[in-house]
Amino acid sequence: MTATPEAPPTIVLVGHGMVGQRFLEALAGRGLTATHRVVVLCEEPRPAYDRVQLTSYFSGRTPEDLSLTDTAFIAEHGIELHVGDPAETVDRAARTVTARSGLVVGYDVLVLATGSYPFVPPVPNKDAEGCFVYRTIEDLLAIEEYARKSTTGAVVGGGLLGLEAAGALKGLGLTSHIVEFAPRLMPVQVDEGGGAALLRTIEEMGLSVHTGVGTQEVVVGEDGAVTGMRLSDGSELATDLVVFSAGVRPRDQLARASGLTVGERGGIAVDEQCRTVADPRVFAIGECALAADGRVYGLVAPGYEQAETAAATIAEDESAFTGADLSTKLKLLGVDVASFGDAHGATDDCLDVVYSDSRAGLYKKLVIGRDGTLLGGILVGDAEAYGTLKAFTGSVPPVPPESLVLPAGAGAPVQLGPSALPDDAIICSCNNVRKGTIREAVTEHRCTTVPEVKKCTKAGTTCGSCVKVLGRLINAELEASGVEVDKGLCACFSQTREELYEIVLALRITSYRDLLDRHGRQDARGGDGCEVCKPTVASIIASLAPTIGAGTHVLDGEQAALQDTNDHFLANLQKNGSYSVVPRIPGGEIAPEKLIVIGEIARDFGLYTKITGGQRIDMFGARVEQLPVIWARLVDAGFESGHAYGKSLRTVKSCVGQTWCRYGVQDSVRMAIDLELRYRGLRSPHKLKSAVSGCQRECAEAQSKDFGVIATAGGWNLYVGGNGGATPRHADLLAQDLSDAELIRLIDRFLMFYIRTADRLERTSVWLDRVPGGLDHVRDVVVHDSLGICDELEALMAAHVAHYRDEWAETINDPEKLARFVSFVNAPDTPDPVVAFVPERDQMKPDLPLLSIGLHPADEILEGSVTR
């Protein structure tokens, strides 16, 4: 008689979201799908998909693109997946789960991954036609369909997902509003300063924001459809579509009904192994679980860790979930928002470094221990340094942490390469992948691309915030192995900046759109480009404008949309949202009448005045709407733009030279003026500084400049590649005892060769150290014409000189250009209330309260925010 084989033990998974899928992968990785029957009950009509990237559906990604699994994985591991058939009851005594279809499944182990549900405030008519939540693909499909017959949409909730929902409505062509009960957007993540930066950026996108008000009632018409919203301040908002995104709650109803223990504020109580405290055969993971530390984790990374812990426990391996890294980076309406480590500064005896620029939409805060340890931080508007900062959290970085986030002029940004990170640095917090693991993927598993490393390690497969650092690590490892890597400028162009320069010059391309469509990567053509290539190409076209026949003003046509913030308003944006006014003072020489004009303007507009190290007078504190009025007076007095805002020539500093100084051997003032007037307005990869000293005593400090000139008895010595600041470099002697004509000719060649071959944002000092052959190669090219291109370099400079026009002089006479100089597009006569001043030393300074930010793991899921 043949014995009946014993049935394998059964694992039932309730819920097939991101965390549920990770649990299945963890089971498969441990071989448990081969020894157990695995049954999945999924409420949604489709298998697991990437909910973090949900909004990308409105950017063209399909539900299939968002999918996290496929039929091959399900079939290979014999998983019984039931979509559209949620669990309705659990009988813990009988150890069975009953689905909506009537299916009854017995279990040996039950895993609840039911996630969370959107909170909808209990306001009248919240379920009316035209009201939606923003949680699933089906929600998005319904919103998309309804939007076709709508004109205006309103989102209740200004948290993470609420901002994404508002962006989606705007993308669907609706006039969009955001209603947030708190006094600022993202109230859990940012403080007043961060909220102001975010608010300004969002309003500039054309969205209307209503903070400090709640929704009292959804107003409906006779047909029962939404026609508006009544707010708590008594005002009414006309809208025909409402999206509720006011927070989430743990989905613990199934657990409650089965007698499992839940927290006072929701969440299925579990221990460190993710077992429910009431039943060791039942586990809970993800947003439905109340962890042993008393928290409901709303981010996907902790959910993944819980999934791994539960799978390990089922496999009888030692594992525990004792908390999680809540570092996260998101892009909301195109705005980066990131947090890492102890961003709230809960650690005793710590210090804050805060940089805030509300007009540019930037807010950066670092929390640093007394011993220099980087504890955490917040980044809003620019999270480029997120990967590096997060990796160094808990240690003392090799450079001051603030140097990684502060802009030029506020702390000299420092770029740390991948080699600076330790092997145990966490690169991907979502999947807990360390740098050493990524290196092994390249060196041992022969991965050569980001997609290959993603597949091998899972790094970068969830939120994607670590992908840039991932790419740099891969390239560093490949280069160390002698493998050639993609040196393309960005994801849009496979060419380097130098190659794009040559393309623009050779083909006389005058439009960024034309360049992208003709020479961009195939998958980027027809797109909008990115924040890397747009200003880079804008600079190339500007530097070549006279030669290729492009508009020579940075605010002409398409060029205006490509510019960085400073160029956009022809002024340097300051920390309180005001702007600086910097007229050109060639060589530092200025007549008394012009000094009086500057004084009168500073007095009349209440500006702070400062004589700079570049021998000119800066005026700080101008509101954006005041800039054209101020510049009209300056231009009338004979001043030109000093280009303090551009990647271009700033100043040519000088001593008084032989005219006044008893040691001077040449007229350094005249030469400085000639050089500054020759190269003014020259757009380049980085800012340019110069100086002319009248003798070897070097009072003008010419050897710390991008190009510096020192007088000798026989003429002029030319030095190149110098740099001051946080990473000083002494300039190198390129040629000596030059006549005036020889000096200018060599500077022409040097500058145009630099502009032609440097990388984006690469200073001459860095470029000189990087180019093969260094100074000797540059000397061969610009002095000895080894490449035969000097005639062309001189012609390019001659075209620039011949076609130079002052940008501000043209702007104040162009009504179309003047229209941009307002604080608020929808209220052009309203001054920016953030810009305020207080007196100091007979002048004024920005009125900036001590800024601090609070972002820390909440021990509950709060209304008005959405965690993921």
The partner residues of 348 in beta bridges, in order of sequence, read none
Query: Cα dihedral sign for 856, 857, 862, 865?
Result: positive
**What is the structure's pLDDT at 232?**
93
Neighbours of 629 (CB within 10 A): 15
Residue with tokens 């083909």: 507
Full DSSP string of 720-755: ES-B-TTS-BPPEEEEEEE-HHHHHHHHHHHHHHHH
Q: Which pLDDT belongs to residue 825?
A: 58
Residue 530, annotated as binding a ligand: no
- Residue whose entry in the numeric block shows the structure tokens 């001054």: 831
pLDDT score recorded for residue 827:
60
What lies within 8 Å, CB to CB, of 426 at 6+ separation is 325, 390, 391, 432, 433, 434
Q: Rounded to the nearest 5°, which phi and psi values hold at 19?
A: -70, -40
pLDDT for the residue numbered 727: 65
pLDDT at 853: 30
**Cα 781 from Cα 325, distance rounded (Å):** 52
pLDDT value of residue 617: 94
**Residue 5: what pLDDT?**
59
Residue 669 has a pLDDT of 95
695 is in an annotated binding site: yes
Which domains occur in the chain, in start order?
10-116+250-314 (3.50.50.60), 120-245 (3.50.50.60), 328-416 (3.30.390.30), 497-563 (no CATH), 564-641+806-840 (3.30.70), 647-805 (3.30.413.10)
Tokens (6 digits) for 606: 């209440």
Task: Report whether 661 belongs to an annotated binding site.
Answer: yes
655 in a labelled binding site = yes
**Residue ranges in the chain whose pLDDT is less than 70:** 1-5, 59, 188-189, 191, 331-334, 358-360, 406-419, 463-465, 468, 484-485, 552, 560-561, 564-565, 725-727, 824-830, 834, 848-868
pLDDT of residue 682: 93
Q: Are 640 and 806 in contact (CB under 8 A)?
A: yes
Nearest to 147 by CA among 135, 155, 156, 157: 155
In the prediction, which pLDDT does 725 show?
A: 67
Q: What are phi and psi of 588, to 5 degrees?
A: 80, 5
The one-letter amino acid code at 35 reads T
Of 644, 629, 579, 618, the residue nearest 832 (C-alpha) = 579
CA dihedral 342, 340, 164, 851 (to 10 degrees): 50
d(CA 132, CA 722): 60
Token pair 């623009």 is found at 504
- Cα(377)–Cα(390) distance, integer angstroms: 9
Q: How far is CA 692 from CA 659, 665, 684, 707, 864, in A?
A: 14, 12, 20, 9, 59
* Alpha helices by DSSP H, 612-659: 627-636
According to the model, what pLDDT value does residue 391 have? 78
Nearest-angstrom CA–CA distance, 445 and 659: 70
